[in-house]
Amino acid sequence: METMITNIAGVLLLKPDIFEDNRGFFLETYSEKKYFNEAIDSKFVQDNFSHSQKNILRGLHYQINKPQGKLVRVTNGSVYDVALDIRRSSPTFGQHFSTILDDQHFNQLYMPPGIAHGFYVISDTADFEYKCTDYYHPEDEAGVLFNDPELDIKWPNKNPDVSERDAAFPCLSKIPKERLPD
């Protein structure tokens, strides 16, 4: 596995070893020992799965008091994936990292707790898996407006299909500091 350090402190792009032959392929999607050696010392407690249609944008989501670290990957399709640093004390606060995750390369993105996350579906459909370091707490969930002009995220489509809730999230600069993870 190759590990790439991104511009966001603690956010890693992981490129797995894929073993292919005439029967198909095999890859390891998680090994606590191997991933720990790659600087991911998080304990994962919940796995999530989403299925989305083309042009769907989900995000930018986070939890305030119980932030989740996430290890994400696409098992079918292709997405434009975004990690936004919203940790108040981070030197990369307000910066984002984006990448394509797909079912050809099977790259994974690790985001430590305190990162807002979102993705846009490029393919006809996409199946997306998340390993999370904390449980989902709906009362603790919040978000940042996906098209906040100050963030300058280059989404593949300026008019994606977004839920009413996600479209109503505030811009990062309008979120009170106590509603951001530390």
Q: Is residue 124 predicted with pLDDT exceeding 90?
A: yes
Which of the following is catalytic: 61, 62, 117, 120?
61
> Is 61 a catalytic site residue?
yes
Of 12-21, 30-39, 154-163, 170-179, give the lowest mean pLDDT range: 30-39
Domain ranges of the chain: 2-179
Q: Which residue in 62, 110, 120, 130 is the catalytic one?
A: 130
Could you tell me which residues are beta bridge partners of residue 110?
12, 71
Per-residue pLDDT of 138-168, as tens digits, reads 999 999 999 999 999 999 999 999 999 999 9
Q: Which residue has the higher pLDDT, 43 or 123?
A: 123
pLDDT tens by residue, 74-119: 999 999 999 999 999 999 999 999 999 999 999 999 999 999 999 9
Q: pLDDT, tens digit, for every residue of 51-69?
A: 999 999 999 999 999 999 9
Q: Annotated catalytic, 51?
A: no
In terms of CATH architecture, what is 2-179? Sandwich (2.60)
Q: What is the pLDDT of residue 33?
A: 80
